[in-house]
Structure 1
Amino acid sequence: MAYHSSRWIPRNQRLKFQIVNAVFTALVLVPQFYVLGRPKSTRYCRQPLLNNLSTSIAVSFIASGFAVIFTLIDPVPQSLWAAYHVFGLLSCGQGLCTAILTLTAAACAKTTPELYYTSLILTVASTFSTGFFMVRGGLWLTSKRPATEPRRNNE
């Protein structure tokens, strides 16, 4: 979304967009670091939600890096697009893991509530993100589909 949104802004005025991107990144990362640093988060939980949160933080950093790069580089090299799409698939897989771990960790809501509810929020965000990109990908595929000629009725 950062790439497409930044293209509406003239190249010499994208600093404002970079500031908005930095604020958004902080809003995403600060709560994750807060939960990671909580003493309750290290309590026993049957599922490795703490490890998953660490992975989510890493994915968030990489995503924000891609957002910065995409708003600075114009045009974007094909190799960077390829890396971004590989990252997107890995990120989708990480979101799926988050969903599975969260759905099987209901007991952790009592022992590590902040960690469990953060994982639940990340699951919802991942679900919305996956849905958004599935719809977007479907629309892209239908726009790239060759047009067919209408049938003529010779009767």
Structure 2
Amino acid sequence: MVWQYLWAHGVFHLIRWFPRTNRSKVRIFILLLTLAFLIPQIFVLATPESARFCGQHLFEFLIVSIVYTFCMIGFSVLFSIMDPIPWEVKLAFHIFGGITYLSGLLLTIFVSLAGECSVTTGTLYFFSLALSIFSVIGIVFLTVMVPFWIVNRIWKNSVLDLRYRTGVCYEPVKCCSCVWHI
């Protein structure tokens, strides 16, 4: 469920690609798209099949995913409106990222053990499988990036310094600096 963290992170950077005076249409579009993530989750939650017994806790993870999606919507709204972002919001966002990272790991483990649930709760299982795949992609991305962020925080601008165009990672991220920070 790391995808919620990465989506809000992407919203932060996407909004800032547009001039401050011309962000209203983009804000509305992104917020409608962000709200649309609730539709499939609520659909799966509402199907009677999802309430059947499954040996793993996929139904509970679906509810957790809906709660995280509401948090993602809140962070997306804050990131699209606030400029600059206060450090308290950034801290809360990164704590949210750590929680979604752990939840994504747990979901992946539970889905890998829930083979029999594909028969009893097919919709829930396959939706959880899709969430698990998105979580694995996010987990791999964050596992690769976090050490660079930490090193750059400890030794200021050693990995990437966009202001002076220096650092070990300047060349790989100069065209896509959005993967770098929030």
Q: Same fold (TM over 0.5)?
A: yes
Counterpart CA distance in 1 for 2:21 and 2:96 is 28
Q: Aligned residue for 1:48?
A: 57
Percent identity, aligned pairs only? Answer: 35
Partner of 2:99: 90
Q: Does 1:66 align with 2:79?
A: no
Residue 145 of structure 1, aligned match among 158, 168, 179 = 158
Whole-angstrom CA distance in 2 between matches of 1:106 and 1:115: 12
Separation in structure 2 between the aligned mates of residue 6 and residue 47 of structure 1, nearest angstrom = 39
Q: Normalising to structure 2: TM-score of the pair?
A: 0.74
2:177 corresponding residue in structure 1: none
Count of residue pairs brought into register by the alignment? 148
User: C-alpha distance in 1, partners of 2:32/2:59?
Assistant: 25
Q: TM-score, normalised by structure 1?
A: 0.86
Specify the structure having the higher radius of gyration (Cα).
1
Deviations for 1:97-117, whole angstroms, at most 9, x for unmatched residues?
A: 111111111100000000000
Post-superposition shift, 1:26? 3.4
1:101-135 CA-to-partner distances (Å, cap 9, x unmatched) read 11111100000000000000000111112222333
> How far 1:60 sits from its partner (Å)?
1.1
Name the SS of the counterpart of 1:9 in structure 2: coil
Contact 2:41 2:62 in 1 (8 A): yes
Two-structure CA RMSD over aligned residues (Å): 2.0
Counterpart-to-counterpart distance in 1, 2:27 and 2:56:
37
- Give the aligned partner of residue 133 of structure 1: 142
**1:32 corresponds to which letter in structure 2?**
Q
Ranges in structure 1 where 5+ consecutive residues have no aligned partner: 148-155
Q: What is the distance in 2 between the residues matched to 1:88 and 1:46?
A: 28
Q: What stretches of structure 2 of length at least 5 have no aligned partner? A: 1-9, 160-166, 168-182
> Which of the residues 105, 110, 120 maps onto 2:119?
110
The Cα offsets for residues 58-106 of structure 1, whole Å up to 9 and x where unpaired, read as: 1111012111101110111011111110000001111111111111111
